[in-house]
Amino acid sequence: MLRFLLLITASFIFPLGAQAAPSQETKENDFLDLVDGQGHVLVQGQGVDGVNAKARAQGLRFPALGYWSPEGHCFVKPAPGECNGVFKR
């Protein structure tokens, strides 16, 4: 019974943890849906680190809901260009 309870608990916790800290870019259409969400804020910066720094300066909630760039290089270090992130206000 305890094993079953642990498995059920883990199935709820681990998927949320995977979404809580994005480590790869969101697909373009999914990202655009995030941008349109009520209370969501789009932040642009040089790579994911630049986006996060600007979001912190604006007092936005972490973690980000998603990151995206047309060139697909948000998580490349050093950042070769602009990246977009969506955060909650």
Calculated CA dihedral for residues 58, 19, 85, 24, nearest 10 degrees: 140
4 is a domain residue: no
3 is a domain residue: no
How many domains in the chain? 1
Low-confidence winner among 6-10, 12-16, 76-80 (lowest mean pLDDT): 12-16
Q: Determine contact, residues 36/53, Cβ cutoff 8 Å.
A: no
Higher pLDDT, 48 or 7: 48
70 is a domain residue: yes
What's the whole-number mean pLDDT along residues 59-72? Answer: 96
Predicted confidence (pLDDT) per residue in 15-65, tens digit: 444 345 689 999 999 999 999 999 999 999 999 999 999 999 999 999 999
Structural domain that includes position 52: 23-88
Task: Please tell me whether the overall predicted TM-score, pTM, comes out greater than 0.95 for this model.
Answer: no
42 is a domain residue: yes
